[in-house]
């Protein structure tokens, strides 16, 4: 479907590339299982290459998200169907992995919670609903709103981006359609991450390589932003929240490795620090008490490397 009045537009501009037939999968219904999975794999490799071509703009978005976080802002994904669920998936994984508040990275899904498990008919077609959901979320100028639309045409997403632009938030569009710029409101987008993966092996099934490429992009944005924001020490997730046995073991191992203590000592340090890995490490490495360790970390914006380097220089 065209995002605006289609009169005068050639047919190939009306149908997003993600919904056009793919010559590579012609006759796939009579292929063997081996042939089918080889075709899928080949198309997924194309998705991987396309994401690589967009790294410069992805890095620019990361910088903007980091600045937003430093100002107390949020990263808000907006999407419908597969795109919305991918945004939700990335958002819900951030708190346990990086120890951030649940609303620091969040998602607005067309159709609401019901759309997580099943399709909600017509939910993606309402510009007004997209605007209303952004308004209800209290989007502000320090927030980043990332619209996700494989086709680049989803009315719900464009309504959300328009409202976010009115509220002076930073706006991002992640799309697999190189023709997204034909949208009459294209000027409301500050950053466009275009990943033109081409037609799917089953025409229109953008949960395939379009979904794969989109998930790669969202993972890059959130992970790189968290790293730049100080949620990682070296390549270790030191802000992990030990909310289950697996993460408890991981936290224990982190304290032991970074602080250079045995597991029993690491367990004692973690208990005294309320399960906070970074506090436990500062206590062990700097020889201060828990309250002082927290003060040191706060002074350095929660960045463990800076806290340790500063304290070690002062010894």
User: Does residue 291 fall inside a structural domain?
Assistant: yes
237 belongs to a structural domain: no
Question: pLDDT value at position 8?
Answer: 38
Q: Please report the pLDDT score of residue 250 as a whole number.
A: 93
Instruction: Give the whole-angstrom CA distance, residue 160 versus residue 62.
Output: 20
Residues classed as catalytic: 93, 124
The pTM (predicted TM-score) of the whole model is 0.85
Task: Tell whether 45 and 122 lie within a shared domain.
Answer: yes
Question: Looking at the structure, do residues 269 and 214 belong to the same domain, yes or no?
Answer: no
Angstrom distances, CA of residue 84 to CA of 57, 61, 108, 146, 173:
21, 19, 7, 11, 13
Residue 108 shares a structural domain with residue 53: yes
Helix (H, G, I), strand (E, B) or coil at 133: helix
Following DSSP, what letter does each residue of 72-106 receive, concatenated? T--EEEEESHHHHHHHHHHHHHHHHHH---TTTEE
Both 181 and 292 in one domain: the answer is: no
**Any idea what the CATH number is for the domain that residue 38 is in?**
3.40.50.10490
Q: Is residue 238 part of a domain?
A: no
Q: What is the pLDDT of residue 2?
A: 35
158 and 265 belong to one structural domain: no
Assess whether 122 and 183 both reside in one domain.
Answer: yes
Residues 201 and 162 in one domain: yes
For residue 140, the model assigns a pLDDT of 97
Q: Which domain holds residue 35?
A: 11-228
Q: What is the dihedral of CA 4, 10, 11, 13, to 10 degrees?
A: -60
Question: In terms of domains, do 164 and 16 share one?
Answer: yes
Q: Has residue 235 been placed in a domain?
A: no
Cβ atoms of 114 and 129 within 8 Å: the answer is no
How many structural domains are present in the chain? 2
Same domain, 113 and 78: yes
| Residue 234 domain flag | no
Same domain, 123 and 51: yes
Q: What is the pLDDT of residues 135-174, one digit of tens each?
A: 999 999 999 999 999 989 899 999 999 999 999 999 999 9
Q: Which residues pair with 76 in a beta bridge?
A: 106, 145
Structure tokens at 276: 């906070």
Q: Does 233 fall in a domain? A: no
In the chain, the DSSP E strands lie at 75-79, 105-109, 144-148, 170-175, 191-194
Query: What's the confidence (pLDDT) of residue 9?
Result: 36
Q: Residue 93: name the closest of 278, 224, 222 by CA.
A: 222
Examine the domain organization and report whether 167 and 258 are in the same domain.
no
The CATH number of the domain holding residue 277 is: 1.10.8.1080
Q: Please, what's the largest Cα pairwise distance for the chain? A: 73
Residues of the chain where predicted confidence (pLDDT) is lower than 70 = 1-15, 119, 121, 204, 311, 313-315
Q: Which pLDDT does position 20 carry in this prediction?
A: 79
Same domain, 153 and 287: no
Q: Which residues contact 57 (CB under 8 A, 6 or more apart)?
A: 191, 192, 193, 194
Asked if residue 53 belongs to a domain, the reply is yes
Residues 6+ apart with CB under 8 A from 245: none
225 alpha-carbon distance from chain centroid? 9
CB 226 within 8 A of CB 207: no
Domain boundary residue, one of 198, 228, 258: 228
Residue 279 domain flag: yes
Helix count and strand count (H, E) for the chain = 12, 5
């Amino acid at each position: 479907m065209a995002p605006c009045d289609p009169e005068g537009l050639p047919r190939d501009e009306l149908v997003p590339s993600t919904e056009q037939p793919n010559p590579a999968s012609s006759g796939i219904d009579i292929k063997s299982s081996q042939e089918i999975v080889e075709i899928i794999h080949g198309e997924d490799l194309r998705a991987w290459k396309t994401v690589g071509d967009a790294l410069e703009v992805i890095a620019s978005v990361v910088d903007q998200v980091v600045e937003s976080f430093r100002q107390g802002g949020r990263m808000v994904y907006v999407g419908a169907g597969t795109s919305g669920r991918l945004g939700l998936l990335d958002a819900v994984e951030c708190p346990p992995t990086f120890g951030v508040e649940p609303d620091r990275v969040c998602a607005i899904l067309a159709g609401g919670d019901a759309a997580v498990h099943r399709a909600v008919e017509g939910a993606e077609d309402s510009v007004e609903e997209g605007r209303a959901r952004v308004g209800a979320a209290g989007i502000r100028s320090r927030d980043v709103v990332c619209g996700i639309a494989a086709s680049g045409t989803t009315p719900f997403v464009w309504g959300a981006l328009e409202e976010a632009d009115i509220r002076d938030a930073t706006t991002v569009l992640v799309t697999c359609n190189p023709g997204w710029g034909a949208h009459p409101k294209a000027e409301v987008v500050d950053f466009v991450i275009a990943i033109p993966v081409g037609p799917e092996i089953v025409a229109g099934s953008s949960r395939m390589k379009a979904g794969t490429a989109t998930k790669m992009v969202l993972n890059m944005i959130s992970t790189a932003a968290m790293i730049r924001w100080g949620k990682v020490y070296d390549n270790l997730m030191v802000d992990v929240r030990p909310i289950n046995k697996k993460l408890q073991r991981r936290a224990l191992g982190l304290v032991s490795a970074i602080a250079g203590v045995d597991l029993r000592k690491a367990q004692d340090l973690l208990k005294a620090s309320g399960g906070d890995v970074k506090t436990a490490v500062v206590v062990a490495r700097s020889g201060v008490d828990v309250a002082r360790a927290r003060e040191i970390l706060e002074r350095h914006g929660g960045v463990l490397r800076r806290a340790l380097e500063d304290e070690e220089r002062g010894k």
